[in-house]
Structures are given as C-alpha cells and as structure tokens.
Amino acid sequence: MATTEEELFASVDALLEEEPQLPPPAERARLREAAGITQARLAQALKTSTQTVKNYENGRSEPKSPRLEAYQRLLNGWAAKYPAHGGSAAPVGVSQPKVAETFTGPAAPAATAPETTAPAATTPETTAPVEAPAVPVAPERPAGPAASSRRPAVKKAPAPAADPRFPHGPLAVLDGDGCAYGTGGIVLDCPATTVPELVEWTLRESGLGAPKLNRYGKDSDPLIVLTAAAAVKLGLPERLEGHEQRRSLRLPEDHPVVKQVAKAKWQLTQRGFGPWARIYRKAQGRERQCVQLAILPWDALDERSWPGVAEMEPADVARVLGVYAQRVITPRGSTAVSGLELMTALRPPTRPERDEGTGNWVSAYNPGSLGTEPVDPAPPEATPEHPVIVQSGWTGGFLDEEAYQWVRDIDLLTDQECTLPFAIGLDLNTAFLAAAARLVVGLSAPDHFHAPKFNPKIPGSWLVDLSHIELDPRLPSPFTPDGTRPTGPAWYQTHTVAYAQELGYNVHPIEAYLRRETGAYLDPWHDRLKTAYVDTLADLGVTKDLSDTEFLAAMEKHKQVDPALAAVLTAIKATVKGGVGKLRERPQGKHYKEGERWPALERPTWRPDIRAAVISKARVNMHRKLLNMSRMTGLFPLAVLSDCVVYPSPGDSPLDFLPYAASGKPQPGAFRLGPTPGLAKLEGVQSMLWAVDLMEKGLNPARHIKGGDAVFDEGE
C-alpha cells in the first residue's frame, strides 16, 4: 500500500513530539551566559526560584507547562542570536563581575551541582591574589536560600546503572554459593574461589561500577560486599581478632590471602586488608583497575550508621547499599570516609587544560576545589598535637567551634515553667548539612593580619574579645559550645563574630588568620546530600506537602514503612556528620607521638577551618532560632545538645508551643516542622518533672529525651 504525504507528516510529527523540547542542560547555561543574564534574573522572568533555574541547567529537573513553553521560546530566541559555533554569540560568562585584585573575600559562588553530562559553564570561585595586607570590604554575598525544586514524592528502587559500561550497577553482595546480588534484583554467577580471581572477575566480567559524579572526576570503582560465608570460601577468617580498635584491625602481611594478592601482582592500599580493602593495579591509560571489598563479618557496616543492615539477606544488603550508591556515592569505607570522598568526587582537584606551548593536555588546578596539595592550618585552627603547634611552641589558644552542650541553670527556671506538664525535644534535620548550604570557605593557605577591620564576608579565624556582650542568661551564649559567657579574648570563626555584629555589638579583632582564595566548596556536596535525604524521606512517606500534623504522624511510623530505606536514611545522616568530622581527623593508634605528622594531614581535605565554619554556622543558626522563639512565644529552652533542643510545653506535641500565624502558617525565624535540612522533627516527649530531675543531677535532658542515650557523634 502506498504511503500518503499526510501519513508521513503524521509519523514525523510523532517523532518530533518524542524529541526533548529543550536543548541539553549545558547548552541552556551557555545561552543564558552568552545573553548576559544571571540565573536570578532568569528565575524572575520565569516566575520561579534561582535554585530551580540551577536545576534546569544541571539536568536535575525539567520545567513543566506553561513554564516549559516560555523557557523554550526564550532559549530558541537566544540560540538564534548566539549560535554555538561563532556567529554573534557573546563570550560565555560575559555577565560575571570581575573580581578586584585586592583581598576582597569571595566572589559570588556559583552553586554547581554534580554533573554527569556535558559541563555547564561555571565561574571559578576564587579571588585574585593580594598585594597589600589590607582587608577591605568584600562584595555582596550571593542571595540566601532559594526554594528547592519540586521532585516526585516517591521514587522507585534504583534500576541498574544506565551507563553501558556498568550494566549491572555499582556493587554486588557475594554469598557462599557464588551468587552475587546486585541492585534492581540482579543476581550474577561468580565462579571465583580466591580473592585475586574475585578481583579479575569483577573487573572483566561483572559489569559493575558507576560513572563519575563530575566531568573532571573518576568513575567509582566496583564494590563487592562479602558475607561471612563468602569470606570463609575465599580463605579469609570469619572474624578479625586483635586488641586494637576495631577499625584499625588488619590481616597480617604473612596471611595466605595477602600473599595470594601480592603473587598475582595486585596491590593493597596503605590501610592493608581490613574491613574495607582496596585492591588495585596501576591504571593503564585511562582505565582504572581497582576493586573495593567490604567484609560484613569484620564490621564493615557499623551498626550506628547502617542499623540492622549487616544482618539482612544479601539481596536486601544490595538494595540498601545500591540506593545509597545511587543517591550519595558508592561506599568507600565508613560513612565518614564516604562523606569525605563525596566532597572530592564532586569537586575534583584537577581538570585537563591545553598547554599553549606544546599543545598537549596537562593536569591543571580545578577552580573551586581544594587542589592536590595539603595546606597547613593557622595555629589557632590546629590541634595541640599538630606539628605546627609543637614546632612553634604556640600558646595563643585555639578555636573552640563545637556544637552546643548546654543546660540552663536550674535556678533560672520559673515556677510557671516548672508547673508545665511536658518537656519536648525538637531535633533539627541534618543541621550541619543545612549550615553547609552556600557556605563560603577558604580554599588557600591562611595569612596572618594584625588589628584587621572585621569583614563578615571573609572566612577565617579572628582573635576578638566578646566578653562584654551580655545576653539573656536563660539562653546559651552563642559564642561558646557550653553556652557560658566568654571571659576574655578568644579565637572565633567568621560566622560567630558576624553574629555578634548582627546582635548589634561592635567587634574589634586583635588579629586574624584569613584566606585570600575563597569559594562555596561544599555547595555540590550539600545539594546531593540534601536531595538524597529528602528523596529517601519521601520514599518513607514523609513528603514536603504534608501539614504539620500529618508530618508528625508520618515521622512516627516512617522507620516501619521500609526498614531498608530507613537504614539508608540513617546512613545519609551519618555521612553528613562523619564527613564534617573527617575534615579534622585526629591521629589514631597508641604508637602516635605528639608533633609527628599523621596520615590524614597529607590530604588536601584535612581542613579544620572548614569544619569550624560549618559548626560555627550551625550553632549560630540554632541560637538565632532560640532567640526568635523567646521573642515570639516567651519560651526558653531547658537544654541544647548539638542539633536537639528541649522546651517546656503545656501539651505533649510541638504543635502546643511552636509559633503559628493567625492563618495557621508557621512563623518564620523560629523552629518549624518539616522534612528538609534545617527544619525540625520531634525527638521525644517526657514529663517536666523528669527533665528537672536530670537538670538537678547535672545531666542534659536533650541527651536522654528520646528515652535513652541519644548518639551525637561528630564523626571523629
């Protein structure tokens, strides 16, 4: 039968409708920048948030009608004016302001998200070097938090990786019968009977691995998780024995399996054959040859970070770790190690750059990253055993930027408070993660300044006397972790000093250690972990569209909805705290001597100043809410521990004391219930008599409000 023109047109039109209606994300960013339009200006035109535009430009979300058609029309117009190759296109980044060649603090950082496709143009988050040791006023900080993009309320369990190089996903769990359980229900047949055979099978036949999270990064090496039966089958002991800390236990070098690995010309990393063993050969060209092992009976999955996972069936272990790998990163060790690895995976230290002299591609510094070389801290940022301190004889004091551990003086309780029936604990969701959002930190080594003018835009450590500031004693001081009033000059991170200024007090730094190159280093880390946290909570039935009453009910039962996903949620939270803690990892092992360098110091990510910035901002955020609560409701906290605060309450629900407007909406500035980082959830309810009794004994009700000893681990 002859085909008519009408039928052909209909067929072609159908194909056109199936095509993506917008150019790739990287091209969207190129066109906007060529037109000289900022993301904020575009967001205004599209009647949406800046964060949503960012999501359009890094491929994390797509516009829906009618915004889709408007965005398409705009991009088509720009494409006609600014073709990709030549034409009248303006240079990429034409709208970005130039950074003055003085020490002005951060240029407005572009909060780049993880990239798995073609790169969108980004602005280097660095400032030019300085000539004179002056500290003039910095340019304006980027706009405050924008609304998150809308995402589906519930996501399905992860499907196998879309990358054709890794058809079977990022990892597999091996049992004693040679079955390797992957993500998405895949079961592979693994014939290996020795560790070298397992490594060869993983690299040559398994189809396991995961693509890089940033265009300048590296693919994730495949992970093989060994059950107890699999470990024994491969010649490994079922348990690691020894008297050292569990995490430092390793197979001895003369163990048969270690010898097998060496004989097959494979290598182990410096941490040896322990619960998380990495086996590798030097890369051939671009192809990495590395396999990560996690040995379940050796406590590879810590119960605090992965509750109940080690006892699950292999297919369920694969599901838990697969969701985590898809949303966060393929595990490389503890959740703390994975949190740190995620920072580097999203901000690789180098990128390829063409050498103009030779025409060859060379490895160059990737702007916005921490680079490849470790940086010594300023003395007040170091720890007492650090070589910088021991060799210099420093006695000038240290930063004490830690999370709150404060209990109100029992004598400051009023009779009215004591007659209230309940004490209620509120916990801020991933408070450190919320503090990492749009956090400008130092990227370079510190420089020393005497009597500088305080600049809240410049990250660093300031010696300043805040003891003259008198605040309500029913609130903890915002300047110290134990909530006591400072007694004289002390070192503080920028956010702490800036908060003193925000409260209306003058500050006059005596000296400071500041960094010339700055950027929002943690932004992509924050974005990925926030999305992982929110999506996993949504899978457990806790979505953004719930009323406060519905939210409290959903949180009460979310762990029972799906224990596997509840374990993923716990692991995500542990990744945040542990990753921040790893930025100041202390020496380990009984053989360490003060003043020696320890292995963590060789990492560019050993950055106690960045850790201090996160914790300082988190503590200031907490105090701001405490202060606003006292002004709105007249209520004062009984105790604070890290991100948990306990209030007296007339009822057994947070709804009985949190401030709401006449419309029923939560009052901005105070504690608010919700599923996103920085919002609050119910931690526990006890009687007021119970809380007062603990306070009289010198104990912290916030530690026990859940009904037992809560775990508050900073990841160190």
In tens, the pLDDT along 475-518 reads: 999 999 999 999 999 999 999 999 999 999 999 999 999 999 99
Strands, sheet with 460-465, edge to edge from the N-terminal-most edge strand: 446-450, 511-515, 460-465, 489-493
Parallel, antiparallel or unpaired: strands 171-174 and 179-182 = antiparallel
Beta strands in 285-384 (DSSP E): 287-295, 350-354, 361-365
The burial of 227, by beta-carbon neighbours within 10 Å (0-12 exposed, 13-18 middle, 19 or more buried), is given as buried
Q: How far apart are CA 163 and CA 537, in angstroms?
A: 27
Structure tokens at 41: 């200006």
CB atoms within 10 A of CB 536: 27
Strands, sheet with 644-649, edge to edge from the N-terminal-most edge strand: 405-407, 639-641, 644-649, 422-428, 680-687
C-beta separation of 384 from 450 below 8 A: no
Q: Which DSSP symbol is given to 98?
A: P
245-294 confidence digits (pLDDT tens): 555 689 999 999 999 999 999 999 988 999 999 999 987 766 779 999 99
- Is residue 630 situated within a structural domain? no
- Is residue 146 situated within a structural domain? no
Out of 129-138, 224-233, 308-317, least confident range: 129-138
- Is residue 403 situated within a structural domain? no
Percent helix / strand / coil, the chain, rounded to 5: 35, 15, 50
Separation in Å, CA 230 to CA 283, 325, 571: 28, 22, 24
Where residue 137 falls among pLDDT bands split at 50, 70, 90? very low
302-345 confidence digits (pLDDT tens): 999 999 999 999 999 999 999 999 999 999 999 999 999 999 99
- Is residue 198 situated within a structural domain? yes
- Is residue 241 situated within a structural domain? yes
Separation in Å, CA 71 to CA 57, 60, 693: 12, 16, 61
| pLDDT given for residue 146 in this prediction | 36
What domain range is 280 assigned to? 171-333
Beta strands in 459-523 (DSSP E): 460-465, 489-493, 511-515, 518-519
C-beta separation of 386 from 377 below 8 A: yes
Four-point Cα dihedral 343, 563, 642, 439, nearest 10: 30
DSSP H helix total and E strand total for the chain: 20, 20
Closest Cα to residue 635, out of 688, 686, 678? 688
- Is residue 316 situated within a structural domain? yes
What total number of domains does the chain contain?
1
Beta strands in 377-453 (DSSP E): 405-407, 422-428, 441-442, 446-450
599-637 confidence digits (pLDDT tens): 999 999 999 999 999 999 999 999 999 999 999 999 999
559-592 confidence digits (pLDDT tens): 999 999 999 999 999 999 999 999 999 998 778 8
- Is residue 267 situated within a structural domain? yes
| pLDDT given for residue 399 in this prediction | 97
Structure tokens at 602: 């060789």
- Is residue 505 situated within a structural domain? no
Closest Cα to residue 608, out of 453, 396, 400, 387? 400
Find the mean pLDDT for residues 208-217: 95
